[in-house]
């Protein structure tokens, strides 16, 4: 089995690439879904997050921690280990010849990229990230710029990449690049 990490910045095209990789037969595991599971009642992080922050509601948590780096670090110290254990359990259920793609926005920042055999970075110009993010329901320019300011710049993420998928062109161009990456990952996994 080969574990490939897929990361990028806000609105860089990760979800589109992941959907194409799934359509091409890869097993796609989303960090956000694992994070939701960890915070559900009975989830590994639920009780400790509730105790420390008074809520497990993700939007409420976001408003509490994103302007407070110390609180964010405390939250991450609770949630990230739980997510890593859920990921490991999910990986262990997969076919030994599968290409598994783990999608996480902060894969490099969290250190999770070290557990991946290969790292894919979705990339596009910052202006395009902003425009895409602003097209999302409820997005505001201040909110988008604040989120981008908290993320590692895409240019810095590219230094870690084994593969870069440039999503600034057409969907067809992105699909073509994604197919080439999947073909290479399959070759490496066999």
Q: What is the pLDDT along the chain (190 residues), one digit of tens a residue?
A: 999 999 999 999 999 999 999 999 999 999 999 999 999 999 999 999 999 999 999 888 988 887 788 998 899 999 999 999 999 999 999 999 999 999 999 999 889 999 999 999 999 999 999 999 999 999 999 889 988 888 899 999 999 999 999 999 999 999 999 999 999 999 999 8
Distance separating alpha carbons of residues 35 and 99, to the nearest angstrom: 22
What is the pLDDT, as a whole number, of residue 89? Answer: 95
Instruction: State in words which class domain 1-26+98-190 has.
Output: alpha beta
Half-sphere exposure of 29 (CA within 13 A, CB side): 27
Distance separating alpha carbons of residues 14 and 23, to the nearest angstrom: 14
From its phi and psi, is residue 158 left (phi > 0), alpha (psi between -120 and 50) or beta?
alpha
What is the pLDDT, as a whole number, of residue 86? Answer: 96
Residues of the chain with CATH 3.40.50.300: 1-26+98-190, 28-96
Q: Which fold has domain 28-96?
A: Rossmann fold (3.40.50)
What is the pLDDT, as a whole number, of residue 30? Answer: 96
Distance separating alpha carbons of residues 133 and 136, to the nearest angstrom: 5
Half-sphere exposure of 66 (CA within 13 A, CB side): 15
Predicted TM-score (pTM) of this structure: 0.92
Contact between residue 159 and residue 36 where contact means Cβ atoms under 8 Å apart? no
Tell me phi and psi for residue 121, to 5 degrees. -115, 125
What is the pLDDT, as a whole number, of residue 100? Answer: 97
Distance separating alpha carbons of residues 60 and 132, to the nearest angstrom: 24
């Amino acid at each position: 089995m080969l574990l490939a990490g897929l990361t990028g910045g806000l609105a860089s095209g990760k979800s589109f690439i992941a959907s194409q990789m799934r359509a091409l037969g890869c097993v796609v595991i989303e960090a956000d879904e694992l994070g939701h599971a960890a915070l559900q009642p009975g989830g590994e992080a639920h009780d400790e997050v509730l105790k420390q922050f008074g809520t497990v509601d993700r939007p409420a948590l976001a408003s509490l921690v994103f302007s407070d780096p110390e609180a964010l670090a405390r939250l991450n110290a609770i949630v990230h280990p739980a997510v890593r254990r859920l990921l490991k359990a999910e990986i262990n259920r997969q076919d030994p010849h599968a290409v598994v793609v783990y999608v996480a926005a902060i894969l490099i920042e969290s250190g999770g990229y070290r557990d991946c055999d290969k790292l894919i970075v979705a990339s596009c110009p910052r202006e395009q990230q902003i425009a895409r993010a602003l097209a999302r329901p409820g997005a505001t320019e201040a909110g988008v710029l604040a989120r981008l300011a908290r993320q590692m710049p895409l240019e810095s993420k590219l230094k870690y990449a084994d593969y870069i998928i440039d999503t600034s062109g057409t969907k067809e161009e992105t699909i073509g690049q994604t197919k080439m990456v999947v073909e290479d990952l399959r070759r490496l996994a066999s």
